[in-house]
Chain A
Amino acid sequence: MFSALLIALVPLVVLAFMYDTQYVKALEKVTESRTNARLAGAENLLRTFLQERIYELEALADIPEVFDWLTTARPNEEPSAEVMAQLRQALDSPHLYGVVVKPSKFEVPLWYLTQTLLNQVELDELPLTPFTNGEIIGPALPTDSRPGWFILRLSPTGLNPAPDAWVGLVVRLASLTDQVKDLSLTGLQSPLVVTPQSVPITAVGNIPGKTSHSAKDINSNDFIEGWHIRLQWLGDPLLGPLESARFGLILLASGAALAVILLSRHLSKRLEKQVTPLIEGADRVAGGDFDTPLHTDGTAEIGYLAFALERMRLRLRRLVKSMVDVERRAILGQFSAGVAHEIRNPLATIKTTIQALSRKESDPKRQKLMESVDHEIDRVNDVVQLLLDYARPREAKASKVNIIDVVETVKILADAVAHRHGIELVQVEHEPLYAWADSSQVRQIVMNLVMNAIQAMEGIGGRVTIRTKQQGLAVYVSVTDNGPGVSADHLSHLTEPFFTTKTNGTGLGLAICRQLAQANQGNLRFQSVSGEGLKVTLKLPLYLNNENQGTV
């Protein structure tokens, strides 16, 4: 399982790695091409803005009154009302702060501009940048007290060399930088216009407070000499989380794969730990060991399997035992029939002969011997009868049996024997109790159990107690002695034929009892602790006062 998992995971990891690499490359390519396209568009907007101002300037300089005044005005001559009107008209543009003019014979230019805008400005220090057929002076950078601006100037007579006469528009710097505002990606990228003084200006025309450089800043080409756009990277507030999420996902996936590997390894080991005892158990069962229980601690399906195997072991054990028993009984039946035939007839002859001889015998000593032989012949005959009974049991004929009567009858019969051996036979009183069984067979079983108990205490004395009770749909008759008891090893063999702990026992009594109990839908149960006596309990079906109760 673990190997299969690894085989499945490795190509998946390779595929994920390749996909991620290609995805990042594609994303970077798309972003870069998109950014370049947007930057190129913004550069065009900036140039177009300046070009439009140049057109306005050309229109102003081409007005005959303005042109004449620029080229012919005497030093310090005031401009005419027409010229002033034209200049004032230019000031209505929202992009312009003012107009500055320098007639050819003037020493210094004339400014039509609010004086606040000239605060902290050193005109001589402003950079000069050519633009088409004009020039840009500045910018005068924004300060805390006023905005920034620059002059776009044009000479009607040409700018090169230094012009004698020129007219200039004082252009609002924020109107120029406003052209790049669409490059702004809130929280991600901030567009800046970098002036020839290498000072960045924001889209709204101020100098940004913090201008930390980043390797991810993107600089455009100069849209005019010395001026360019910078896309300031604002520290990944948007892409940062995306990147983090990507690495997080990769980490999560790796962690998950590792966890799956460890988990599968753990499961594999646990499975092995649960399955191995089952395999060993199954091997034991296959080898004929039906007695060693299987390990049934497995979880879920393994647990069910173990439980099923254990049930199978128990049923197999019962089946095999039953088959052995049947086989043994069949053999015993054939054997018993043979023995009965071969032994009983000669025994009958011997018995008759002995009895005849006995009657003619006067010697009491010999007569005693002949009686003894006669008894032994009876005993052999009894053994043969037992063998026949075991091999060919009589069919039980069930009827209502008064158990108390049966027990009392047995007690009366056994009392004399018990008394002879110094054993007290006690019957615990009980109200009438009825079983559904063959009454003679029940009597035979109880008698056998009582006699067994008495024989177990021959020579040592003791007490045999007979109890009766009803529990559920069963009637119980238990015979308890306080003799030496039976060891645990012997206990399970007590009902096997020919198994006996007695020196002169046949080993058939309890075997027949069990057989009779089973024939009456009952069973025998043996409980003993070695040295503390034996308790044998006969269980029989309760008489239910129902005429339709089936026959056994």
Chain B
Amino acid sequence: MIPISHDRFISILVGICLVVLVTFAMPSKALESLGASEDTADIIVGCLYPMSGRAGVLGRDSVVGIRLALQYIEQQGLATLPRLRVLLGDTKSKRSTAVTIAKRFVEEEQASFLCGVVNSSVAIQVTEIAASANAFFVGTDHASSRLTDEFFHDRYFRVTNDTRQSMTAGALFIRDYFDDHLKKKPLRISYLGPDYEYGYQVWADFREALDRLGVNYEIAGALWPRLSEPDYSHYINELIRQEPDLVVNSLWGGDFVAFVTQATDTRLFDVSRFANFEKGGDYEIFAHLGDRMPLGLLLASRHHNNWPETDFNRWFVQEFQRQTGYYPSSGAQGAFTGILAIAEAARQAGGNYKDLEGIERAFEQLSLTTPEDPPGFQSSMDPVTHQIRQVMAIGETVKDPRYPPAKVMLGNWRIYYPTDYEQVHSATE
């Protein structure tokens, strides 16, 4: 036997481990899965999330949300609920990677459901694959309204609010909140959104809602930093130079954290009001900035840890915190609802999990209670657009130490029900 020194042994061991890790990290190899085993699964769901980069926190939290959903389904103890096997894929926020994984889910893993996807541009690619493969695509975190519009297909369902809903609620909020200002002069608005499909759609939906509401506004400028922009200082300077009354922002995830972190060191929040009605109210931003989080920002998200104060939401937030040691961002609840919706639609379809058309019809009529539903309200699917109808809660950043490390949370809530923002569009359509 050839003698090997201790250091050399360690080096060889580390090398082998690296090779093994790299090999298993390759997309062509085995995928991580949750829930039922391959043999016992009634339905296979392939979920796609970014697990790395600035959007990674949303993906990682979504996986915990999926795990919680599976746990919740199991706790129901209903025999009519399907056994789900959930495959997980890291899109790395790239269209090509997402397309490759999505194809593999439907073609090789026989997944009848795709779910997840944070990035709307990636979602457009994935929904086309789902459409061509006749698979369901349950959107849990992307929000571009074009997914339920020009890219609509029968098997696409979205279980979180889209940009049209959130920005219509935002426009209603603006009309109410700036009432005094609007009576005197137009509201100067600057927009800063991510430079891709989602950012364009948020801006288009917001302006359409403002126009429909007859809000007196003028555009001071529109800026489009790219995803994962490393330095927002020039954008912040340009926003300050434009001297708007209100900056509307639609950055999300780590990009929004980076933007606010940089902006807190400037006078942007002093010279203009600041709003993000999409994902600006995500817990991760509060956790990251702690007591440096500015007060008085007008934010919303698709789920809030401190609203509504229902048992279901409390259970969801506390269980998440118990399992992970930290509080969830909004992506977790979206993924949770997505898995819950798939199981519930399959159950309501009658137990034949191969009857995709039946499941589709059940999905169209789906009503279910989610953690973000306030008392007396139940989320329901719009059978025409396949877009879920949920309440929008918009708040203002206030001091609230109940969810450490965050020192600031949303408060002073204004609540908008689906009927509120649907009226805006139905009135003129």
Give A contacts to B, CB under 8 Å.
85, 88-89, 91-92, 94-95, 114-117, 142, 144-147, 172, 174-175, 181, 184, 186, 202-206, 209
A174 touches B224 (CB 8 A): yes
Q: Which of A91, A146, A174 contacts B200 (CB 8 A)?
A: A146
A209 touches B242 (CB 8 A): yes
B234 touches A114 (CB 8 A): no
A204 touches B204 (CB 8 A): no
Q: Which of B94, B121, B226 contacts A114 (CB 8 A)?
A: B121
Cα distance A117–B146 in the bound complex, in angstroms? 14
Cα distance A110–B64 in the bound complex, in angstroms? 41
Cα distance A323–B125 in the bound complex, in angstroms? 130
| Residues of chain A contacted by B225 (CB below 8 angstroms) | 174, 204
| Residues of chain B contacted by A172 (CB below 8 angstroms) | 195, 226
Q: Which of A116, A202, A205 contacts B197 (CB 8 A)?
A: A116
| Residues of chain B contacted by A145 (CB below 8 angstroms) | 200, 203-204, 207, 222
Cα distance A116–B121 in the bound complex, in angstroms? 12
A206 touches B234 (CB 8 A): no
- Chain B residue with Cβ nearest A203: B234
Cα distance A114–B120 in the bound complex, in angstroms? 11
Q: Given the known inter-chain contacts A116-B204, A172-B195, A203-B234, please indicate yes or no for A88 contacting B125, CB distance below 8 A.
A: yes
Known: A116-B200, A146-B200. 12 other contacts (CB 8 A): A85-B96, A85-B99, A88-B125, A142-B224, A145-B200, A147-B224, A174-B226, A181-B234, A202-B238, A204-B235, A206-B222, A206-B238
How near does chain A come to B28, taking the closest CB pair, in angstroms? 14
Q: Which of B96, B99, B234 contacts A184 (CB 8 A)?
A: B234
How near does chain B come to A265, taking the closest CB pair, in angstroms? 52
How near does chain A come to B235, taking the closest CB pair, in angstroms? 5
| Residues of chain A contacted by B96 (CB below 8 angstroms) | 85, 88-89, 91-92
A209 touches B220 (CB 8 A): yes
Cα distance A145–B124 in the bound complex, in angstroms? 20
25 A-B pairs with C-beta separation under 8 A = A89-B96, A92-B96, A92-B97, A94-B228, A114-B196, A114-B197, A114-B200, A115-B150, A116-B197, A116-B200, A116-B201, A142-B222, A142-B224, A144-B219, A144-B222, A145-B200, A147-B222, A184-B234, A186-B237, A203-B234, A204-B235, A205-B224, A206-B222, A206-B223, A209-B221
| Residues of chain A contacted by B94 (CB below 8 angstroms) | 92
Chain B contacts with A in 118-135, Cβ cutoff 8 A = 121, 124-125
Chain B contacts with A in 200-232, Cβ cutoff 8 A = 200-201, 203-204, 207, 219-228
How near does chain A come to B108, taking the closest CB pair, in angstroms? 15
Cα distance A204–B192 in the bound complex, in angstroms? 11
- Chain A residue with Cβ nearest B191: A144
| Residues of chain B contacted by A85 (CB below 8 angstroms) | 96, 99
Cα distance A174–B222 in the bound complex, in angstroms? 12
- Chain B residue with Cβ nearest A148: B224
How near does chain A come to B117, taking the closest CB pair, in angstroms? 15
A94 touches B200 (CB 8 A): no
How near does chain A come to B101, taking the closest CB pair, in angstroms? 13
Q: Mark B40-70, 1 if CB is under 8 A from A, else 0.
A: 0000000000000000000000000000000
Cα distance A209–B83 in the bound complex, in angstroms? 58
B124, B195, B235: residue with the most chain A Cβ atoms closer than 10 Å: B195
Cβ of B95 under 8 Å from chain A: yes
Q: Closest 3 CB pairs between A and B? A: A147-B224, A116-B200, A92-B94
| Residues of chain B contacted by A115 (CB below 8 angstroms) | 150
Cα distance A89–B99 in the bound complex, in angstroms? 10
- Chain A residue with Cβ nearest B192: A204
Cα distance A94–B94 in the bound complex, in angstroms? 10
Q: Mark B94-111, 1 if CB is under 8 A from A, else 0.
A: 111101000000000000
| Residues of chain B contacted by A94 (CB below 8 angstroms) | 226-228
Cα distance A175–B328 in the bound complex, in angstroms? 34
B99 touches A88 (CB 8 A): yes
| Residues of chain A contacted by B224 (CB below 8 angstroms) | 142, 147, 174, 205
Cα distance A537–B125 in the bound complex, in angstroms? 131
Cα distance A352–B237 in the bound complex, in angstroms? 135
- Chain A residue with Cβ nearest B196: A114
| Residues of chain A contacted by B234 (CB below 8 angstroms) | 181, 184, 203-204
- Chain A residue with Cβ nearest B193: A147
How near does chain A come to B279, taking the closest CB pair, in angstroms? 20
Q: Mark B142-169, 1 if CB is under 8 A from A, else 0.
A: 0000000010000000000000000000
How near does chain A come to B53, taking the closest CB pair, in angstroms? 12
How near does chain B come to A374, taking the closest CB pair, in angstroms? 126
- Chain B residue with Cβ nearest A205: B224
How near does chain B come to A491, taking the closest CB pair, in angstroms? 89
How near does chain A come to B266, taking the closest CB pair, in angstroms? 11
Cα distance A174–B234 in the bound complex, in angstroms? 12
| Residues of chain B contacted by A203 (CB below 8 angstroms) | 234
How near does chain B come to A184, taking the closest CB pair, in angstroms? 7
Q: Which of A144, A174, A181, A202 contacts B195 (CB 8 A)?
A: A174
A115, A175, A204: residue with the most chain B Cβ atoms closer than 10 Å: A204
| Residues of chain B contacted by A204 (CB below 8 angstroms) | 223, 225, 234-235, 238
How near does chain A come to B132, taking the closest CB pair, in angstroms? 11
| Residues of chain A contacted by B222 (CB below 8 angstroms) | 142, 144-145, 147, 206
How near does chain B come to A140, taking the closest CB pair, in angstroms? 13
Chain B contacts with A in 16-38, Cβ cutoff 8 A = none
How near does chain B come to A82, taking the closest CB pair, in angstroms? 13
Cα distance A91–B225 in the bound complex, in angstroms? 17
| Residues of chain A contacted by B95 (CB below 8 angstroms) | 88, 91-92
How near does chain A come to B206, taking the closest CB pair, in angstroms? 11
- Chain A residue with Cβ nearest B103: A81
How near does chain A come to B298, taking the closest CB pair, in angstroms? 22
How near does chain A come to B166, taking the closest CB pair, in angstroms? 18
- Chain A residue with Cβ nearest B224: A147
Cα distance A193–B341 in the bound complex, in angstroms? 50
- Chain A residue with Cβ nearest B226: A94
Cα distance A95–B227 in the bound complex, in angstroms? 10
B99, B221, B228, B242: residue with the most chain A Cβ atoms closer than 10 Å: B221
Cα distance A452–B184 in the bound complex, in angstroms? 109
Cα distance A146–B220 in the bound complex, in angstroms? 14
How near does chain A come to B204, taking the closest CB pair, in angstroms? 6
Cα distance A175–B224 in the bound complex, in angstroms? 10
Q: Mark B223-256, 1 if CB is under 8 A from A, else 0.
A: 1111110000011011000100000000000000
- Chain A residue with Cβ nearest B204: A145
- Chain A residue with Cβ nearest B203: A145
Cα distance A172–B204 in the bound complex, in angstroms? 19
How near does chain A come to B245, taking the closest CB pair, in angstroms? 15
Q: Given the known inter-chain contacts A88-B99, A89-B96, A91-B95, please indicate yes or no for A147 contacting B195, CB distance below 8 A.
A: yes
Cα distance A206–B237 in the bound complex, in angstroms? 13
How near does chain B come to A92, taking the closest CB pair, in angstroms? 5
How near does chain A come to B153, taking the closest CB pair, in angstroms? 17
How near does chain A come to B418, taking the closest CB pair, in angstroms? 26
Q: Given the known inter-chain contacts A91-B96, A116-B204, A146-B200, please indicate yes or no for A206 contacting B195, CB distance below 8 A.
A: no
Cα distance A185–B199 in the bound complex, in angstroms? 29
| Residues of chain B contacted by A146 (CB below 8 angstroms) | 200
- Chain B residue with Cβ nearest A184: B234
Cα distance A452–B55 in the bound complex, in angstroms? 128
Cα distance A95–B226 in the bound complex, in angstroms? 8
| Residues of chain B contacted by A209 (CB below 8 angstroms) | 220-221, 242
Cα distance A184–B207 in the bound complex, in angstroms? 31
Cα distance A117–B197 in the bound complex, in angstroms? 9
| Residues of chain B contacted by A186 (CB below 8 angstroms) | 237
How near does chain A come to B363, taking the closest CB pair, in angstroms? 27
